[in-house]
């Protein structure tokens, strides 16, 4: 039996104003890095500490199977 792959995701809605993207990656640090890049693309040169905290708070661990079922 194959072990189910785990991933991490962050739904940017409500975290980065105006963003509707869901960021997924294999590690929490990669999701965090991508979220920072997304915020910069959306005009945030300096990210408030509260936004960085929300990145961490709103990141969730998901299974690959649940992602495929939703997509």
Domain ranges across the chain:
6-70
Single pTM value for the model: 0.82
Q: Give helix 49-58 / helix 28-41 axis angle, nearest 10°.
A: 140
Measured in degrees and rounded to the nearest 5, phi and psi for residue 10 equal: -140, 120
What's residue 3's pLDDT? 67
Tens digit of each residue's pLDDT (9 = 90 or more) over 15-29: 999 999 999 999 999
């Amino acid at each position: 039996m194959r072990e189910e792959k785990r991933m991490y995701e962050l739904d940017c809605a409500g975290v980065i104003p105006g963003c509707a993207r869901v960021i997924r990656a294999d590690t929490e640090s990669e999701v965090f890095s991508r979220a920072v890049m997304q915020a910069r693309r959306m005009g945030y040169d300096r990210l408030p500490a509260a936004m960085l905290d929300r990145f961490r708070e709103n990141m969730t661990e998901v299974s690959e199977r649940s992602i495929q079922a939703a997509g």
